[in-house]
Amino acid sequence: MLVFSVFTLVAVIFAIYLTFHRWSIIEPEKPFVGLDNYRDMVGDERFRESVLNTAYFSGVSVPASMAIGLVLALLLNLPFRMRAVFRTAFYLPVVTPFVVSAILWKWLYNGDYGLFNYYLTKGHIIDQPLLWLSDKNLAMPAVILMSVWSGVGFSMVVYLAGLQAIPQDLYESARMDGAGPLRRLWHITIPMLRPTTVFLLVLGIISSLQVFTQIFVMTNGGPVNKTTTMVYYMYLWAFKYYDMGYASTLAFALFVILLFFTAFQLRLARRADLS
């Protein structure tokens, strides 16, 4: 309890205190500014852009990771040889350090010697190398693709656990009634996996709203702020502009958004349990 108080409760209270001050870590004066930080945040165009970028990242990466994870789980739940090897292979990106994965994908996306441009050019799919991480239209999709690759193994494992918890009697009864694979999938598998899907959705959205590492390593928020997410924007104010007061204000904005989504998703989970 004492450790919790010191490292969590006191830190949160101090962060709230910071939001009411112009708290530069390189200046001796820490003036009280009241609600100015909150007013600045509401009128901050770059903050609004970071919210939209984060929503874009979450809105694409979370459903994509879950959908691909479900397909992989369905395939890897079938009986065939070397199934464990494939399961391990698809799960490996999850246990790979995120910084290492981001550096690897940055090399794959390189405009001069990256493997993507090499094979796309060799296959005559493109005429000129693409600037994956420097093009404002390609940078965020490139980061999303890397994030989906890194996280799909986790969705696969959770869906596999959900599939193996479905009673086989249901499938046997459906077969006896003449239901084919697609009808069994739609009427038994998908409904029985609803709690698993809600669980993955909750974790996925909370995690995606805090996306930072791949942005920091691969794009530094560029080009032209197209990959600047909320947490990266917070990092800029804290450790580039040294304004801890405004950075703390941004952190509380993220906290409110997370609280809203978590409450909404818990309501969904409760409905799933009741049904």
Nearest partner of 14 among 206, 252, 212, judged by Cα: 252
Dihedral sign, CA of 179, 181, 184, 186? negative
pLDDT tens-digit readout, 150-193: 999 999 999 999 999 999 999 988 888 888 889 999 999 999 99
Please report whether residue 28 resides in a domain: no
Q: Tell me the sheet residues that pair with 32.
A: 21
Give Cα 187 to chain centroid, integer Å. Answer: 29
Please report whether residue 91 resides in a domain: yes
Q: What is the pLDDT of residue 273?
A: 65
Q: What is the pLDDT of residue 272?
A: 63
State the Cα–Cα distance between residues 1 and 40, nearest whole angstrom: 36
189 token code pair = 């598998």
Please report whether residue 249 resides in a domain: yes
State the Cα–Cα distance between residues 71 and 238, nearest whole angstrom: 41
Please report whether residue 7 resides in a domain: no
Domain holding 214: CATH number?
Answer: 1.10.3720.10
pLDDT tens-digit readout, 55-93: 999 999 999 999 999 999 999 999 888 889 999 999 999
pLDDT at 269 over 80: no
State the Cα–Cα distance between residues 249 and 234, nearest whole angstrom: 9
Q: What is the pLDDT of residue 275?
A: 61
State the Cα–Cα distance between residues 85 and 107, nearest whole angstrom: 27
Q: What is the pLDDT of residue 76?
A: 94
Q: 66-70 contacts: CB < 8 A, separation 24 or more? A: 66/155, 66/197, 66/200, 66/201, 66/204, 68/148, 68/152, 68/155, 68/156, 69/152, 69/153, 69/154, 69/155, 69/156, 69/158, 69/159, 69/200, 70/155, 70/156, 70/159, 70/193
Question: What domain count does the chain have?
Answer: 1
pLDDT tens-digit readout, 209-263: 999 999 999 999 989 999 999 999 999 999 999 999 999 999 999 999 988 888 8
Angle at 190 between CA 142 and CA 166, to 5 degrees: 120
Mean pLDDT of 132-136: 92
State the Cα–Cα distance between residues 213 and 217, nearest whole angstrom: 6
pTM summary value: 0.90
pLDDT tens-digit readout, 103-132: 999 999 998 889 999 999 999 898 888 999
Asked whether 251 and 15 are in contact (CB, 8 A), the reply is: yes
Please report whether residue 253 resides in a domain: yes
State the Cα–Cα distance between residues 260 and 246, nearest whole angstrom: 21
What percent of the chain has a predicted confidence (pLDDT) above 70?
Answer: 97
Q: What is the pLDDT of residue 26?
A: 84
Asked whether 86 and 76 are in contact (CB, 8 A), the reply is: yes
Give Cα 39 to chain centroid, integer Å. Answer: 28
Range of the structural domain that residue 49 is part of: 44-274
Q: What is the pLDDT of residue 32?
A: 92
Please report whether residue 198 resides in a domain: yes
Please report whether residue 39 resides in a domain: no
State the Cα–Cα distance between residues 133 and 146, nearest whole angstrom: 12
Q: Is 197 exposed, middle or buried (0-12, 13-18, 19+ CB in 10 A)?
A: buried
